[in-house]
Structure 1
Amino acid sequence: MTDLTLHTIEDYQKLIDQSIRHLGGYWRTLSGLARVTEELGELAELLLTEEKDPDTVGGELADVFIISTCLANQFATDLTKEYAELGLPALINELDLSGEVGSASFHFLQLSQTAWQCSSYH
């Protein structure tokens, strides 16, 4: 598997693509839908509890990020373009401009970092 430096959303897409191909390839469409639905259900269950453990929630968010990126790759979706349309930058280090805990950019950066830790196969 090629080593990638993770600076852009495209880099994450490539890393996840390489990892999935290394593990045997993508799922059938219905299986992908079932996987993302399962991960969203697990996240929902955690978010509905009184005591929310940030590490556990982060892990589930990373799962959702990875599975949804797999689906994007499977259907040739350019996430950089999609994020740009939402007003998010393509460079990872530009995502957290506010530095405020609780901001969308802060959580997205945290999610990206957690997803990288969970998906590194090198």
Structure 2
Amino acid sequence: MIDKPLYNTVDIQKRVDDYISQFKEGYFSPLSLMARMTEEIGELAREVNHYYGEKPKKSTEVEKTVEEELGDIIFVLTCFANSLDIDLSQAFNLAMTKFETRDKDRWTRKEDS
């Protein structure tokens, strides 16, 4: 894990938008983006299974990493958010507030040392 992020969500959303905006096609439709997200999650599942599961890679398979697949998911997720004009910082804050309130007593806390 990196101590300091290279990008914040505003930077990520702008960088993806700058990239997509150079093409006439622009963002895919929400349904197509959902399909792409599903594909990327499947690719992540495959990598996790190769590294941590019982299914080793075939010698003919291209070497990919969990990190690479997570990056692909972040890209597609950002395309999805941008196409629907959703601020990922706000979406993240909503999710964290939900988890920090709803699940605040759900798990066993670590003892302070």
TM-score with structure 1 setting the length: 0.58
Shift of 1:8: 2.6
- Counterpart-to-counterpart distance in 2, 1:19 and 1:43: 23
Give the aligned residue type for 2:13: Q
Aligned residue pair count = 81
**CA RMSD, 1 decimal:** 2.2
In structure 2, relative to structure 1, the CA distance for the partners of 1:87 and 1:47 (3 Å cut) is same
> Which ranges of structure 1 fall in alignment gaps of 5 or more residues?
1-5, 89-122
- Give the 5 Å matches for 1:1-122: 7-24=7-24, 25-50=26-51, 56-87=65-96
SS at match of 1:22: coil
- Counterpart-to-counterpart distance in 1, 2:75 and 2:81: 10
> Which ranges of structure 2 fall in alignment gaps of 5 or more residues?
1-5, 54-63, 98-113
Which structure shows the higher helix fraction? Answer: 1
Give the aligned residue type for 1:14: K
In structure 2, relative to structure 1, the CA distance for the partners of 1:51 and 1:8 (3 Å cut) is closer
Give the aligned residue type for 2:9: I
- Counterpart-to-counterpart distance in 2, 1:50 and 1:43: 11
TM-score with structure 2 setting the length: 0.62
In structure 2, relative to structure 1, the CA distance for the partners of 1:71 and 1:44 (3 Å cut) is same
In structure 2, relative to structure 1, the CA distance for the partners of 1:7 and 1:41 (3 Å cut) is closer
Structure number with larger C-alpha Rg: 2
